[in-house]
Amino acid sequence: AQSVTQLGSHVSVSEGALVLLRCNYSSSVPPYLFWYVQYPNQGLQLLLKYTTGATLVKGINGFEAEFKKSETSFHLTKPSAHMSDAAEYFCAVTGSGGSNYKLTFGKGTLLTVNP
Amino acid sequence: KAGVTQTPRYLIKTRGQQVTLSCSPISGHRSVSWYQQTPGQGLQFLFEYFSETQRNKGNFPGRFSGRQFSNSRSEMNVSTLELGDSALYLCASTETSGGHNEQFFGPGTRLTVL
């Protein structure tokens, strides 16, 4: 079974500041990890994913995340926040074995960017 | 390629009624998953279909059901609606099986139960 914990339901940063959204996971099998973004009244859009290989993953819109197995973490970062980054962000996990087709999501983190 | 489409986008029903939501996946995608999103429970997996077969099911009552057609389009049905069924219902498609594949999400159907 898998689970995801996102620390901080609401994060507020100033435009140009570092964005750090935290995600910790629990998985009984090697995980596949994802970050999705949701803008108001829209579906989810994939930012980046980790499956295997390099543990530092780069995604769209300048975001990146690092898979740290020892810390069971997959935190999302962006060096400089832009007003257009304001949205809700979801960390999700699936398992690598068997019929692990479903995404298990965290509760989400609402990112506010202040001018 | 066109993205995942869901119809209708908004729906208002009353308690006790039933509702059917539709999802058309990206062309060539054979797997369709459904998720329920509410402020309290967040995003929860409902079920997943692949080649017209339900392969995985979440922890929802039997009032929630689905099916997939030979063209990969999928429908989900909720019978005997309850107030707590008010939610955004999201459909996602992926090309093949496997947890590593990106799921492409539609814009969702906003269901309000009065």
Residue A96: the pLDDT is 60
In the chain, the amino acid numbered A1 is A
Looking at beta carbons, which residues of chain A come within 8 Å of B99?
32, 94-96, 100-101
**Mean of all residue pLDDT scores within chain B:** 93
pLDDT (0 to 100) of residue A109: 97
SS3 B10: strand
**Interior/surface letters A61-96, b for 16+ CB within 10 angstroms, e for the rest:** eebbbebeeeeebbbbebeebeeebbbbbbbbbbbe
Supply φ then ψ for residue A85, to 5 degrees: -80, -10
> What's the CA gap between A22 and A7, in Å, rounded?
5
In A, minimum Cα distance to B47 occurs at A102
Tokens of B65: 């059901």
Q: Is the pLDDT of residue B73 over 90?
A: yes
Query: When comparing pLDDT for B45 and B101, which is higher?
Result: B45
The pLDDT > 70 percentage for chain B reads 97
The residue ranking higher by pLDDT, A103 or A10, is A10
Query: What is the Cα B59 distance to its own chain's centre?
Result: 14
Q: Check if B92 contacts A (Cβ < 8 Å).
A: yes
B108 touching chain A per CB within 8 A: yes
Q: What's the pLDDT tens digit per position in A19-76? A: 999 999 988 777 889 999 999 888 999 999 998 888 899 999 999 999 999 999 999 9
In this structure, how many other beta carbons lie within 10 angstroms of the beta carbon of residue A30?
Answer: 11
